[in-house]
Amino acid sequence: MSLYHLGKKRVLVVEDNTFNMQLLQTLLEKISDLEIVASYDGANALKVLQSPESKIDMILLDIRLPIVTGEDVLREIRKNSDFDDIPVFAISVDQSKEAELKELGISDFIHKPFDIEELENKISLAFNKTV
């Protein structure tokens, strides 16, 4: 499934681990011409989203973030109707929280370690739903 027909999309990646952030950026660049907006903590991610010039099309959200957790970020995102159409993917190794995250409004899950085919398929499906 290719994402090239979708045009330029902006993906906010919220990941506190530098290695995982670099890996995700590399994988996403291989998938398509996505513009990656990197955030290393939840508080910064919320600032990015609230910025008027920051048009984000998708969010990849690490759940285990320090200080402002991924769950807290997700709650804030889902409180704001401006973000209703933005797919939010939880990136995590902890599958025990999936039911709770679904209740909070997570769109889907991308499990660590990352699989490029899973990543591409899920992103493509989400963008095709929002196009």
- Residue 5: what pLDDT? 53
CATH 3.40.50.2300: does it fit domain 4-130? yes
Contact assessment for residue 103 and residue 33, using Cβ atoms and an 8 Å cutoff: no
User: Structural domain boundaries of the chain?
Assistant: 4-130
Q: Which amino acid is at 15?
A: E
For the segment 17-66, what is each residue's pLDDT rounded down to a tens digit? 999 999 999 988 887 778 999 999 999 999 999 998 889 999 999 999 98
Question: Which SS3 state, helix, strand or coil, does residue 59 take?
Answer: strand
CA nearest 110: which of 88, 89, 125?
A: 89
Among 11-15, 22-26, 75-79, 122-126, the range scoring the smallest mean pLDDT is 122-126
pLDDT exceeds cutoff 50 at 70: yes
pTM above the 0.85 mark?
yes
What φ, ψ does residue 92 adopt, rounded to 5°? Answer: -165, 160
